[in-house]
Each structure stands twice: as structure tokens, then as C-alpha cells.
Amino acid sequence: MGRLARAALATALSCSLAALAACAPPTQPPPPTTCATDDIGIAAGAPLMYLSDSELDREFDAIRAVGARWLRVDIDWSVIEPNRGQQNWSVPDRVVDRARARGLEVVGIIAYTPAWARVAGGGDTHGYPADPATFAGFARQAAQRYSTRVTHWEIWNEPNLTNFFRPRPDVGRYVELLAAAAPAVKSVQPNARILNGGLAPAVDNGSDISPVTFVQQLYARGAHQYFDILSVHPYSYPALPSDASTQSWNTFYRMRLMRDTMVQYGDAATPVWATEFGAPTGTASNAVSTQRQADIIADGIAEARRLGWVQKVFVYSMRDRGTNRADVEQNFGLLYQNFSAKPSRAVVASAASGCAAANGTLESTNTPADAVW
């Protein structure tokens, strides 16, 4: 999500993998200082919603087997209500029900606008809603429908990117959506936890808005009263998240600046969730090797635990979405498309099991899905 923008950002900053390899710190991450047994999740991406039942079940079994306990999925208004007043919830129902049956906790992303509700000039479904109250009405319906199955709600996705908030990002417009939707959710689900739309890597270029700037503007507008968790997509590839030499652009490292804003406004108790994080393998110009992907993910999980205030890391994604190695969008998985494992799969499993063992809650992952590794 938003990875084309991240590719452009990496190009603009002239950051090559070869140069980073020379200056990066050792790939062995520091030992974790604290961890929770449920601090690893999977950001699934929209293609998950349309897998066959058998493939969906197999992917969920793989998620459980790797030790992840959370799943981030779309509750896509444009899919559910393409025509006003005519709703079909079968797509998210199937995914949410199967995920919950396996004990996965779900973060539902309330996002994307049907044509009839879209702002003028919004273009596709990523155009933001014209009327915050109408969007809030849908958010209330989603919370009511999934009141016993989903307790965490993310309001939109990557609103700091033109690609996801058309015709262009606007913090004021986003705050209007958040201020309408968050109370609507809590009106039917008082104990729900609200996340802002996860903020993607970007620079302030007159179109996209950097996540650091976006967070500053959210807080300056008082928007932190509407969310319980700050959601960020701290992609750092090809750098390691902890590499201080890349702090001028490395979004994972720059979460420290976002945290500074939170502390400045007296909001230090609010946790940060990395709701998308990972790296693409393959042959694209901005892809990394499978070992480098594993190193980046290992370092990110360890760094989150060391920092303490990054409460969860959602790896994007469990499985490659295709077999074209030249298409960066198809190659973020811990598994290849055929379910065979990349080195990163073992990294995540080790991080999850190590934390569980440290907390005395290690459980067996002896599921049929393990047979493919």
C-alpha cells in the first residue's frame, strides 16, 4: 500500500542498496528488552479478500503457524455499498469469520469510497468521502455488525499520500473524517480502540505529506482526542530500521520524531503501532534479497521491542501475491506464492516463539500448514 510512493521516495533520496550495505550496522538485531506475546501481526492487503475458501484457510493456518496473532484487513465501503442503500457484506464477513475462528484478532480498516459518496475530483475509490457524516454512518454500521468480532478500527489508510487520499492529502479534511467516524464507532462499541489511518513514508513535496509533518498537524488540530493508537507504516528498505545513518529519510527511525510530537502534547501514554512493515524481494530495482528482507524484518521487530512505545508490528505480508519477480507489489511475502518459505518466515517465527517462551506462554504451532516448510 503506497509502495509506489515509497519507491519514488527512495529514488529521490538516491539511496542505493550497495551504499547502505557499506554503512549499515551489523545485521544481528539487539536482544529485545520487552515484548508481548501478541505483538506481531500480519497486514494482509486487499488481495486476501478474494482468495478461494481453501487458499484463504491455508493462508490463515500459515499466519497462525508463524506465531502472528493479529490480522489487518479492509472493511471496504466501496465494495460493500457500491450503490447507495444496497449493501453486501459477504466479502469482509467471510474473512473476519475465518480469521476469528483461528483466534486471530482483527484490525478493520474503514476506508475507500463508492462513486456516489466521493468528493468531486476524487477519481477512484481512494477519493475521500464528500460528507464526513455519511462516512461516519458507514463506520457505525461496521462497528455494529462486527461488535463481537472486531474491537480495533483504523480510520482510512495512508491519508498522507495522494495515491490514497485523492485528489490530494489534506490534514484538515482527514481530521473531519476521523472526528466524525471515531465517535460513531464508539457510540455502538464504547470499548473500541481507534487508530488513525496508517501513515506512509513520504516527503513534503506539495502533494504528499511526510508522516512526521502529518502527525505534527494532527496534534496541532487536537485530533489525538479521536484516536487511541497512532498508526504508522514505517517501511525502511533497503535500510535496516535501526540504521541511524539513514535517519534523514528512514521512516522507522523517524518514528522517534513522531513520538517527540506526542510527548510534546502530553500524549506519551498513547502507543504506536507499525501497521504495515516489511520489504519486497524479487528483481525490481527497489527490491532486496531474501536475506536482506529477513534482516530488515528481524531488526524492525527487535527495534520496536527495544523502543518500548512501538507496541505492535504488522508485517506486510504473509504471502507473495503473484509469481512475477519483477513486480515489486507481488513480492512482499514471508512466503512465496506457492507457500514455500523465504528466510523471513523463520525470523518472524523465532521472534514470536522467543517472546512467548520468555513470557511462559509458548504454544505448539504443530498445524497442517507447517508441512509446507
Q: Give pLDDT tens digits for 197-223.
A: 999 999 999 999 999 999 999 999 999
10 in a domain, yes or no? no
What CATH number does residue 117 fall under? 3.20.20.80
174 in a domain, yes or no? yes
163 in a domain, yes or no? yes
Task: Give me the residues paired with residue 193 across strands.
Answer: 152
> Which pLDDT score is estimated for 361?
63
Output the CA torsion sign for 188, 218, 92, 37. negative
Those residues of the chain that have pLDDT short of 70 are: 1-34, 361-373
Cα(213)–Cα(174) distance, rounded to whole angstroms? 14
27 in a domain, yes or no? no
Q: Is the peptide bond before 285 cis (omega within 30 degrees of 0)?
A: no
Task: Give me the residues paired with residue 166 across strands.
Answer: 127
115 in a domain, yes or no? yes
> Which pLDDT score is estimated for 360?
73
102 in a domain, yes or no? yes
- Structural domain boundaries, residue 104: 40-353
Cα(354)–Cα(361) distance, rounded to whole angstroms? 10
18 in a domain, yes or no? no
pLDDT tens sequence across 308-334: 999 999 999 999 999 999 999 999 999
Full-prediction pTM beyond 0.85? yes
> Which pLDDT score is estimated for 40?
98
Cα(108)–Cα(270) distance, rounded to whole angstroms? 19
367 in a domain, yes or no? no
Domain count, the chain: 1
Residues in the chain: 373
